[in-house]
Chain A
Amino acid sequence: MSATYGYKRTVVGAHYGWRDFLVQRITAVLIAAFTLLVLLQLLFTHGSIGYDTWAGIFAPQWMKALTFSVIVALIWHAWIGACSIWYDYGKPEGVRLLLQVLTAVWLISCGGWAIQVLWRL
């Protein structure tokens, strides 16, 4: 039987967790960059921050599109993160499945709400 570990490891066919690993990092960088973008806009505001300033940040179409992808990134990131906790402590499998279903419903509901708030602005 040929070696399937080390540099000869089969890397196609199944995901081996690589996709989750990469998605977790890409979404994390996106969320961090978005946080910085919003913070910088708040810091460069002159005077007090009222409703106009705050809503003005999210008003341009490009910002809405960006916020939309950040919401999706956040939901995806939270999904992978929560599942990695359930993989460790969610025992037996039935409990883990229940936790995963609850997490999915929780996250999709929250994501829908956030996108609704964003898009009616």
Chain B
Amino acid sequence: MTELTKKKRPEFRNINIFTDVRGYRLPLAALVSILHRVSGLLMLLLLPFIIWLFDKSLTSEISFAQFSAAYTTGLGFVPAWFVKLVTLALIWAYLHHLCAGFRHLWLDVDHGAITKEKGRSSAVVVFAISIVLTLALGAKLFGLY
């Protein structure tokens, strides 16, 4: 039997996050996909913070001052640098989610886009745009220019 001489292929029945997932190959397209979920979940969890910013920045001049103060003197016991860091995480999450979303729409309408090569090159574009914009806005947020 040729079946018996064949090299035994790995078989996953009960996938373990610590032992099996490390061995997975994760191409760039897959990385875009999983980060699409991670960024979406991050924004979902931080939604109260986003609405807090919306509330304070919009309600009155006094609350607008509180909003600004969160980025200069901090928010309660949370220092300003940490507020900025969380905001930077949100900026990245939004940009990645947006770029990956546009890629998704493109994959929906153009069947020619669904090849190994184009999947990879479009993933590169998603990372390039979202990371460059995140760095640019992050530098502005932390007052580098």
- A107: B residues at CB distance < 8 A: 44, 47
A78 and B59 contacting across the interface, CB-CB below 8 Å: no
A51 and B61 contacting across the interface, CB-CB below 8 Å: yes
Give the complex CA separation of A28 and B100 in angstroms.
11
- A82: B residues at CB distance < 8 A: 40-41, 44
Interface check B21, CB cutoff 8 A: no
Interface check A110, CB cutoff 8 A: yes
Interface check A1, CB cutoff 8 A: no
Minimum C-beta distance from A6 to chain B (A): 16
- A78: B residues at CB distance < 8 A: 40, 43-44, 47
CB contact under 8 A between A120 and B108, given known A28-B101, A78-B47: no
Chain B's closest residue to A88 (CB) is B37
- B60: A residues at CB distance < 8 A: 51
Interface check B76, CB cutoff 8 A: no
A54 and B57 contacting across the interface, CB-CB below 8 Å: yes
B54 and A114 contacting across the interface, CB-CB below 8 Å: yes
B interface, by DSSP: helix, strand, loop or mixed? helix
Minimum C-beta distance from A104 to chain B (A): 12
Interchain Cβ contacts under 8 Å between A and B, 25 examples: A25-B105, A25-B108, A29-B105, A32-B98, A32-B101, A50-B64, A51-B57, A51-B60, A51-B61, A51-B64, A54-B57, A58-B58, A78-B40, A78-B43, A78-B47, A81-B40, A81-B44, A82-B41, A103-B44, A106-B44, A110-B51, A114-B54, A117-B54, A117-B58, A120-B59
Partner-B contacts on A (CB < 8 A): 25, 28-29, 32, 35, 50-51, 54-55, 58, 78, 81-82, 85, 103, 106-107, 110, 113-114, 117-118, 120-121
